[in-house]
Amino acid sequence: MKFFADTAEIDEIAELNALGMVDGVTTNPSLIMKSGRDIIEVTREIAAMIDGPVSAEVVATDADTMLTEGRKLAAIAPNIAIKVPLTWDGLKACKRLTGEGHMVNVTLCFSANQALLAAKAGATFISPFIGRLDDINIDGMELIADIRTIYDNYGLETQILAASIRSANHMKEAALIGADVATAPPSVIRKMADHVLTDKGLEGFLKDWEKTGQTIS
């Protein structure tokens, strides 16, 4: 499973990239706002750092303006994936943009029917929002499983990009189900390394080592 960093913070992306822990980046208007950066400037900087896809989101709600914004975002760098919302206008824009050779990430997906429509429209990525479904007491992972089954049934090539990930457990479950990609905040990716028994074991080793009076140098 590929890891995308869900952030517009350059330092966090750079740290993960240096460790080989990031295969792409996703941004959205909220993350751009949080970064305090100009969208074109920060997207260009991220795209230059990362070899994989960098999702940049349109803010228009009608298809024609989505196309205008999407083309402007795509012009930033060859590895830009244009994010459009899963609305009827978003699907129209997706079809046109993919027809022009651009990567398109269809976002805000909350049902298998929506995911099927996005694949038919030629989406490169479909972004089902796990955490937001969990918030309303619907199992977000069931949606990932449903989409995986439908796509596999018909050989659909759209990649499942598990989004709105809130925990390391979400990452594990997405990988077990077979999501192609999971996008998560850098803090969640780092959290995957944590385990209480690792901490306990290291503490024991260090105490025993101290008793030997030795050094490694």
| DSSP assignment of 154-189 | HT--PEEEEBS--SHHHHHHHHHHT-SEEEE-HHHH
Average pLDDT, the chain: 97
Helix or strand run (H / E) with residue 149: helix 140-154
Within a domain: 78:
yes
**Number of domains observed in the structure of the chain:** 1
Within a domain: 197:
yes
pLDDT band, residue 181 (cuts 50/70/90): very high
- For residue 127, the enclosing domain spans 2-212
pLDDT band, residue 217 (cuts 50/70/90): confident
Within a domain: 217:
no
Contact 33, 59 (CB under 8 A): no
Which of the following is catalytic: 34, 72, 83, 211? 83
CB proximity list for 15: less than 8 A, separation 6 or greater: 186
Please tell me whether residue 1 adopts helix, strand or coil conformation.
coil
Measure the CA–CA gap between 152 and 148, rounded to whole angstroms: 6
Domain of 29, CATH number, reads 3.20.20.70
Please tell me whether residue 99 adopts helix, strand or coil conformation.
helix
Active site residue 83: yes
Condensed to tens digits (0 to 9), the pLDDT of residues 31-64 reads 999 999 999 999 999 999 999 999 999 999 999 9
Condensed to tens digits (0 to 9), the pLDDT of residues 133-170 reads 999 999 999 999 999 999 999 999 999 999 999 999 99
